[in-house]
Structures are given as structure tokens and as C-alpha cells.
């Protein structure tokens, strides 16, 4: 059982005995540092280390900003049941994050954009734009034939200036962040996984990642594969590494490696997603999800320890945020089957989705879906068919184009679908239309004005961040402009988010207006630029 105390240390020290010595030395310095009454806000709050004190008290902006996303993170994961921040005497699932929340800023309800997909949310986090403006409208897009769903992996698919473009002169590191393949990021391990079990994660990453990060990842993988034993004398296959938890641990260790090196990126983008796997497999509120949250909290604590050891924590600001909300499901509904029956979709068993041709088709996000059509006549017919099926099954409802417009969604969609409670929408084409869900939770909630059912958690802490501030409600599109104001960056105009001025103790004016996409030449040849950058890595 993992410890529930905020002051409890992670049991993992990955950098040898000297690391433990450094931590003990820092602890002795902390004990010798004079404190005032203000350093212990409440009974049960432990005395912070020097780096933490300097970060909370220091004047001026930070030298580095960490933006960490946690799949499915909610404020209840680090706050007490009554909404209060925790002390050392309280149990919470994420004690390290609870400590940051108690010393910094808490966002109770951070609202993702529609349709509540991880790619769309992460694009909004780094651009300050809604999906209709940055172009990442879901987790994947259907190609023209509808036979293949293509993930939004390439950074060229995203419109507008991302934080990594604006901060290029400050140094950027991105570990597992979506839609970063080909991006101009000095230190990068993109978010991608092998589509099948015939390729290793390392082989997939190698041509698109920074060599010095890959060298560190190779060492981690070799150690994991040499010590992991599945059965009696049975060695683990390289294709099985890493699990989601091992991947998160590897990203945390690499972040520590960078902190301990002579590299000093100003902007860190890190995504931990083992909670997504646990939520899909076991559902919300399950022991598996609680364990995954605890492990991610350990990884965040390890990164903080590394920054403290190297003297970098004093000049750091940390933002931790959820990406999308997950809700329990028990039944999957496949509305495309009704469109197949009426001849709007032609099946082809050879395609990955079984689609040969289509006049109208539904594309699922989990709890919601967009419906696309070749023409108005097909759209009207598809809506009539799906409205009939919605009444018959009670599993979903049709969302009008006007309702979709209020949610700022993909402008190419004719209308949408919204799953009923306990249901998720699938893309299946073969009967029955209702079948047991293969997952226990699903994301993809459509954002509705005035509702907070799809909200996630948010914490901000450190240099330039005010203390003991609580925000009832904020938008994920507000985070990029807030970081830009704190760090003195310029994003493309117009953007949809607004900086949250009330959480900042420092701000830097943005630089003069320059090229829209830093690193792209006057000829706008993106492919050439990406080739040049690849050679530079």
C-alpha cells in the first residue's frame, strides 16, 4: 500500500547513492533555515525545503515552466472530499500534487473544449485556441474514403503558434506530448505508439526523437528488459516494453536526467497517461485508477526532487492539468449500423473500419460523435434515420447543427450525437447495434454552456505564481496565454483564451510581432524545414 502522507518521499532514487546524499544534505539545510509563521499556513503542513521557499517567495518571473498533463485528472484526486486542500495528516490519492495545490493555485473545474478528446485538449493547451481554430478537432480524422482513421500526430496539422514555437529561443523539451511529430523542439520524444505488436516503441521513436534523449531511453529500456522476468528463466520480449506505467516512469527519469545535465530547457511539456489505460480497463473510482494516480504523483514528486537537488526549483513554475474527463459506461451503441442498413455506408471487410464508400457517416469520440455527409440530401436522410434509432434504443440523442455551433466543434460536421448516461458511441458496422462495452469508462463529452460535468483538475505553483488562490472555473484555452504572460511569449492572434491575471505575481511583456511560424523560411516550405531540423537533431 502506498503512503498517503504529503511529506512522504518516493521510494525510488534512480541516480545512485549520491542522489540520496544530496537529498539528505538539502534536508539539513532546510532544517537550518529560519522560518516565520507564514511558512506553516495550517496545522499539519510540513516545513518546505529551501528551493520551495525560494520559488514561493522569489520575485520576478521563472527561468523555466513545466506544463504537465495527466490523463483524466480531476480536482478530487488531490483535494479532500469536502474540497479543502490537504495537510500532511490527510490521505489523498496524489499527495505531492496536493502539496502544490496547498501552496499555490487550485482550479476546481478546468473545462476542456469539445469534443473532450485528448488531442484537441492538448492542442488547446499549447495554442490558446479552440478546435475550430487550431484544427485538431478530435483524436483522429477520417480520410476521404472513410476507410482509415488518421491520428493527429504531425505538428503541421495544427494551426497557430504553439508554445514551443513561441519559446524556441528559450529551449523546449516535450516528452510524450501529442501532435509534436516534426515540431521544432530541441529535446523531443513525441507521443506515438506502435500500431501492432511487431515493432518496438524504441524503433518507432528513434527517427523522430532527439538522439541524446533516445540514448537515455535505450539505457532505461535495457535495464528494464534485463531485470524483468515473466516466468522461470523467461526473458521479456522487447515489443512488450514499456507498459503505460513504465512509459511514464521513463519520461520522469529522462526529465530528471535533463535536469541533472548541462541542458536547461525553459519550457517543459510532459504528458503522463497511464491513468487513461486504467480508466478504460477498470473504470472510474477503481483501485487500478487510484494506483495509477499514485504512481504519476510519485513521478511528479521525483521531478520536483530533481529540480530541488540541482537548485533549479527556486526558479521554476509548475502547471499540472487534466486533459479530458472520463465517465462510466456499460453499453456500446454503433449508430453507423443504421446508416449501413439504409445504404448510406457501403461496407468493405478489407478496410480497417470496413468502409467501402459513404454518403453519411458517424465518427465517434466516445461519449459523443460527429456526423459527416457528402451533401445536404444525405445529411437530412442520415438525421432522420439516426433520430429514429435514438428513439428506439434510448442510447443516444441527435445534436443539431445549432447546438454543435454553440460548442465550437468541427465546422465540417453536419450534426452530432450525444451518448446517454452509461453508453458510449462506437464506429462498428456489424450488428447488433447494442452490445456490451469493451471499456469501463469513456471520454469525449461535449461541452455544454453552464455545465461542469466534463471538467478536469488544475494546479499552478512556483516562481511568479500567487499563493492560496482558488479558481472555481477556467478554460483549458486560458492556460497557454497565462504561461505566455508569465514567460514573456507571443502567441498568434486571434486566440480564444485569456490570461488568468489573478494567479500571477510576475509578468513579462511579449516580444515584438515576428514570423507566424518560427523556423519556416520565406518560401513556406514546411517539408524542407522539417528535414533540416531532423538533420540538426
Mean pLDDT of 195-206: 86
pLDDT at 271 over 60: yes
Q: Where are the domains of the chain?
A: 17-32+41-142+150-196+242-326+452-536, 328-442
Q: What is residue 493's predicted lDDT score, i.e. its pLDDT?
A: 79
| Residues in a beta bridge with 311 | none
Q: Can you tell me the mean pLDDT for 397-413?
A: 88
Given a cut of 60, whether residue 6 has pLDDT beyond it is: no
Evaluate if residue 234 carries a pLDDT over 70.
no
DSSP states of 141-187 = EE-TTSS-EEE--BGGGS-S--HHHHTGGG-EEEES-SS-BT---SE
Do residues 116 and 325 touch, judged by C-beta distance below 8 A? yes
pLDDT for the residue 390 = 98
pTM: 0.86
For residues 168-178, give the mean pLDDT: 95
Task: State the chain's maximal CA–CA distance in angstroms.
Answer: 77
Q: Quote the pLDDT of residue 9.
A: 34
SS3 at position 259: helix
Say which residue, 239 or 127, is predicted with more confidence: 127
Number of DSSP helices (H) and strands (E) in the chain, helices first = 16, 22
233 pLDDT tier (thresholds 50, 70, 90) = low
Mean pLDDT, rounded, for 249-268: 96
Q: What mean pLDDT do residues 529-533 have? A: 43
The answer, yes or no, to whether residue 8 has pLDDT greater than 60, is: no
The most confident of the ranges 76-90, 167-181, 233-247 is: 167-181
Pairing of strands 415-419, 234-235: unpaired
pLDDT at 328 over 90: yes
92-96, 138-142, 337-341, 413-417: lowest mean pLDDT where? 138-142
Rounded distance between C-alpha atoms, residue 332 and residue 417, angstroms: 13
When comparing pLDDT for 252 and 23, which is higher?
A: 252
Q: What is the dihedral of CA 42, 45, 47, 51, to 10 degrees?
A: -100
pLDDT tens-digit series, residues 289-319: 999 999 999 999 999 999 999 999 999 999 9
Q: How many Å apart are CA 432 and CA 422, to the nearest integer?
A: 18
- What's the pLDDT tens digit per position in 419-430? 999 999 999 999
**Taking 90 as the threshold, does the pLDDT of residue 206 lie above it?**
yes
Q: Give 118-149 pLDDT, tens digit per residue.
A: 999 999 999 999 999 999 988 877 666 665 66
pLDDT for res 447: 85
pLDDT greater than 70 at residue 230: no
Position of cell 540541482? 310
What is the per-residue pLDDT across 31-42, written as a single tens digit (0 to 9) for each? Answer: 333 333 344 444
* pLDDT score recorded for residue 45: 53
470-496 mean pLDDT:
95
> Is 80 exceeded by the pLDDT of residue 113?
yes
pLDDT at position 353 is 61
Q: For the residues 64-85, what does the mean pLDDT come to?
A: 95
Question: What are the backbone angles phi and psi of residue 154, rounded to the nearest 5°?
Answer: -85, 130
Residues facing residue 70 across a β-bridge: 272, 322
Please give the residue that has the higher pLDDT: either 153 or 464: 464
Q: Which fold has domain 17-32+41-142+150-196+242-326+452-536?
A: Alkaline Phosphatase, subunit A (3.40.720)
Of the candidate ranges 203-217, 259-273, 351-365, the one whose mean pLDDT is the lowest: 351-365
Q: Which three cell numbers stand for residue 139?
A: 483524436
Lowest-pLDDT range of 140-149, 153-162, 333-342, 366-375: 140-149
CA dihedral 169, 490, 117, 345 (to 10 degrees): -100
Residue 141: predicted pLDDT: 74
What is the residue whose three cell numbers read 480564444? Answer: 496
| Sign of the torsion angle spanned by Cα atoms 113, 119, 122, 123 | negative
338-362 pLDDT tens trace: 999 999 999 877 655 688 889 999 9
* Pairwise pLDDT comparison (29 vs 88), residue with the higher score: 88
State the average pLDDT over residues 56-64.
94
pLDDT, residue 102, reads: 94
Among residues 6, 15, 39, 5, the alpha carbon closest in space to that of 310 is found at: 15
| Summary mean pLDDT of the chain | 85
- pLDDT above 70 coverage of the chain, percent: 83
The pLDDT of residue 16: 41
Band of pLDDT at residue 112, cut at 50, 70 and 90: very high
More confident residue, 493 or 105: 105
Q: Is the pLDDT of residue 488 over 90?
A: yes
**Three-class HEC string of 72-139:** CCCHHHCCCCCCCCCCCCCCCCCHHHHHHHHHCEEEEEEECCCCCCHHHHHHHHHHCCCHHHHCCCCC
Confidence of residue 452 (pLDDT cuts 50, 70, 90): confident
Question: Is it true that 17-32+41-142+150-196+242-326+452-536 and 328-442 share their CATH fold?
Answer: no
Percent of the chain with pLDDT over 90: 66
The fold adopted by the segment(s) 328-442 is: Gyrase A; domain 2 (3.30.1360)
Q: Does the structure show a pLDDT above 60 at 228?
A: no
pLDDT at 197: 67
CA distance 249 to 274: 10
* Beta strands per DSSP E along 267-376: 267-272, 316-322, 327-333, 345-347, 355-358, 360-364, 368-373
Amino acid at each position: 500500500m502506498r503512503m498517503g502522507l504529503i511529506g512522504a518521499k518516493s521510494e525510488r532514487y534512480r541516480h545512485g547513492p549520491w542522489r540520496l546524499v544530496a537529498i539528505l544534505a538539502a534536508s539539513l539545510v532546510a532544517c537550518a533555515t529560519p522560518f516565520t509563521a507564514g511558512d506553516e499556513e495550517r496545522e499539519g503542513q510540513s516545513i518546505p525545503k529551501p528551493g520551495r521557499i525560494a520559488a514561493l517567495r522569489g520575485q520576478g518571473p521563472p527561468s523555466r515552466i513545466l506544463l504537465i498533463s495527466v490523463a483524466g485528472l480531476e480536482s478530487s484526486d488531490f483535494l479532500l472530499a469536502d474540497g479543502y486542500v490537504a495537510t500532511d495528516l490527510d490521505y489523498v490519492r496524489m499527495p505531492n500534487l496536493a502539496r502544490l495545490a496547498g501552496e499555490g493555485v487550485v482550479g476546481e473545474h478546468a473545462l476542456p473544449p469539445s469534443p473532450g478528446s485528448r488531442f484537441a485538449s492538448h492542442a488547446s493547451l499549447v495554442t490558446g485556441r479552440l478546435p475550430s481554430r487550431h484544427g485538431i478537432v478530435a483524436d483522429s480524422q477520417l480520410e476521404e474514403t472513410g476507410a482509415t482513421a488518421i491520428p493527429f500526430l504531425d505538428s503541421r496539422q495544427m494551426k497557430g503558434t504553439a508554445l514551443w514555437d513561441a519559446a524556441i529561443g528559450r529551449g523546449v523539451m516535450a516528452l510524450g506530448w501529442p501532435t509534436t511529430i516534426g515540431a521544432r523542439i530541441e529535446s523531443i520524444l513525441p507521443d506515438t505508439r506502435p500500431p501492432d505488436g511487431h515493432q518496438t516503441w524504441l524503433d518507432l521513436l528513434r527517427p523522430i526523437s532527439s538522439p541524446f534523449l533516445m540514448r537515455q531511453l535505450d539505457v532505461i529500456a535495457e535495464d528494464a528488459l534485463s531485470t524483468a522476468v515473466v516466468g522461470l528463466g523467461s526473458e521479456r520480449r522487447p515489443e512488450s516494453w514499456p507498459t503505460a506505467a513504465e512509459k511514464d516512469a521513463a519520461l520522469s527519469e529522462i526529465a530528471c536526467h535533463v535536469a541533472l545535465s548541462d541542458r536547461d530547457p525553459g519550457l517543459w511539456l510532459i504528458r503522463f497517461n497511464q491513468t487513461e489505460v486504467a480508466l478504460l480497463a477498470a473504470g472510474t473510482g477503481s483501485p487500478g485508477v487510484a494506483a495509477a494516480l499514485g504512481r504519476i504523483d510519485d513521478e511528479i514528486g521525483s521531478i520536483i526532487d530533481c529540480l530541488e537537488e540541482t537548485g533549479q526549483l527556486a526558479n521554476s513554475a509548475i502547471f499540472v492539468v487534466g486533459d479530458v474527463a472520463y465517465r462510466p459506461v456499460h453499453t456500446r451503441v454503433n449508430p453507423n449500423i443504421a446508416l449501413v442498413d439504409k445504404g448510406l455506408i457501403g461496407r468493405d471487410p478489407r478496410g480497417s473500419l470496413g468502409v467501402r464508400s459513404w454518403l453519411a457517416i458517424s465518427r465517434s469520440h466516445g461519449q459523443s460523435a460527429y456526423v459527416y455527409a457528402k451533401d445536404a440530401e444525405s445529411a437530412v436522410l442520415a438525421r432522420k434515420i439516426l433520430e429514429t434509432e435514438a428513439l428506439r434504443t434510448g442510447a443516444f440523442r441527435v445534436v443539431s447543427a445549432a447546438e454543435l455551433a454553440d460548442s465550437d466543434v468541427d465546422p465540417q460536421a453536419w450534426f452530432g450525437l450525444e451518448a446517454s448516461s452509461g453508453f458510449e458511441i462506437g464506429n462498428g458496422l456489424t450488428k447488433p447495434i447494442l452490445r456490451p462495452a469493451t471499456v469501463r469508462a469513456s471520454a469525449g463529452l461535449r461541452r455544454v454552456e453552464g455545465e461542469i460535468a466534463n471538467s478536469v483538475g488544475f494546479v499552478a505553483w512556483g516562481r511568479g505564481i500567487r499563493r492560496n488562490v482558488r479558481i472555481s472555473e477556467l478554460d483549458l484555452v486560458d492556460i497557454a496565454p497565462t504561461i505566455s504572460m508569465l514567460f514573456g511569449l507571443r502567441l498568434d492572434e486571434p486566440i480564444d483564451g485569456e490570461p488568468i491575471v489573478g494567479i500571477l505575481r510576475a509578468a513579462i511583456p511579449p516580444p515584438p510581432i515576428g514570423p507566424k511560424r518560427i523556423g519556416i523560411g520565406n518560401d513556406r516550405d514546411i517539408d524542407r524545414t522539417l528535414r533540416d531540423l531532423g538533420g540538426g537533431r
